[in-house]
Amino acid sequence: MLFKQQALLRQKLFVLGSLAIGSLLYLVARVGSLDRLQPLCPIEGRFGPRGQDEIPLRALQFKRGLLHEFRKGNATKEQIRLHNLVQQLPKAIIIGVRKGGTRALLEMLNLHPAVVKASQEIHFFDNDENYAKGIEWYRKKMPFSYPHQITIEKSPAYFITEEVPERIYKMNSSIKLLIIVREPTTRAISDYTQVLEGKERKNKTYYKFEKLAIDPNTCEVNTKYKAVRTSIYTKHLERWLKYFPIEQFHIVDGDRLITEPLPELQLVEKFLNLPPRISQYNLYFNATRGFYCLRFNIVFNKCLAGSKGRIHPEVDTSVITKLRKFFHPFNQKFYQITGRTFNWP
């Protein structure tokens, strides 16, 4: 009997000892993992030496939580005043292009603690009715932010709408402008695919891409087709250059943003004069989706909407060849103006 009790006691002590060792090992591993994360998201000195241009630490603490609540309208005026929050006009705008990756670019830039994004496309400068409501209406559409943060909005229709450059210039002649482009023929097909999907959801029929992109009377590229016109980047950019110097534009490679996003984001950080904060830790490849997703911290991840990355319909190779030949001289001029060359056919 005594032997049994001693054996039972030894068994209990063994279990308790194992639990204690396991807990200790967990804590060591946990601290180690946090240490490994520290260089990516340090608390002390996140923005380097303290100074006038430092972004307050509280901006980091509240950005994902408190600012989100304020965007939903769950804040009093007193709370807004106490936290020194404002609705700022954007200091940078993603002006285009449609189906170039504007949403992906905006969401990825929002990884930066100094950036606050407008969640919806505002369509202030390209919509006469909205523009008539005035600049204060536009400001009220912006998210709450801290004074040191940069507000960014994106409305890809801005790039191709004639009135927009002058209207933005009147608001802020020194604003920074972001343009994200893809290979022009691929972009045109992507544009068509989005419209086609919308028609199919409504059980409507739609022309094949070939019939829209090629004029049946001349058998040449149909420049009246909007998806084709949008891809003539240089024509639209020349209109913007009447108001803004080329130094105020940054061209983002939309194709590279899909396959290798970090170098593109680092170039944008530099253009916006932001301290480099987006790292490979913030971007992870989702094999199921076939795209990079975003990691804000150890608990909050985000992938783009399922509508991104639609499968394109098969297009006649002769039409693709004709389109690429048509876009080629415009592409060459675009390279010359922007100083950035792409591997487009």
Active-site hit among 12, 77, 99, 242: 99
Any known ligand binding at 32? no
Distance between CA atoms of residues 105 and 94, nearest Å: 8
Any known ligand binding at 103? yes
Any known ligand binding at 279? no
Any known ligand binding at 145? no
Any known ligand binding at 119? no
Any known ligand binding at 100? yes
Any known ligand binding at 311? yes
Q: Does 99 qualify as catalytic in the annotation?
A: yes
Any known ligand binding at 310? yes
Any known ligand binding at 64? no
Any known ligand binding at 33? no
Any known ligand binding at 292? yes
Q: In terms of Cα–Cα distance, which of 67, 64, 86, 84 is closest to 75?
A: 67
Binding-site residue numbers for 3'-phosphoadenylyl sulfate are 99-103, 182, 190, 292, 308-312
Q: Which residues are annotated as a binding site?
A: 99-103, 182, 190, 292, 308-312
Catalytic site positions: 99
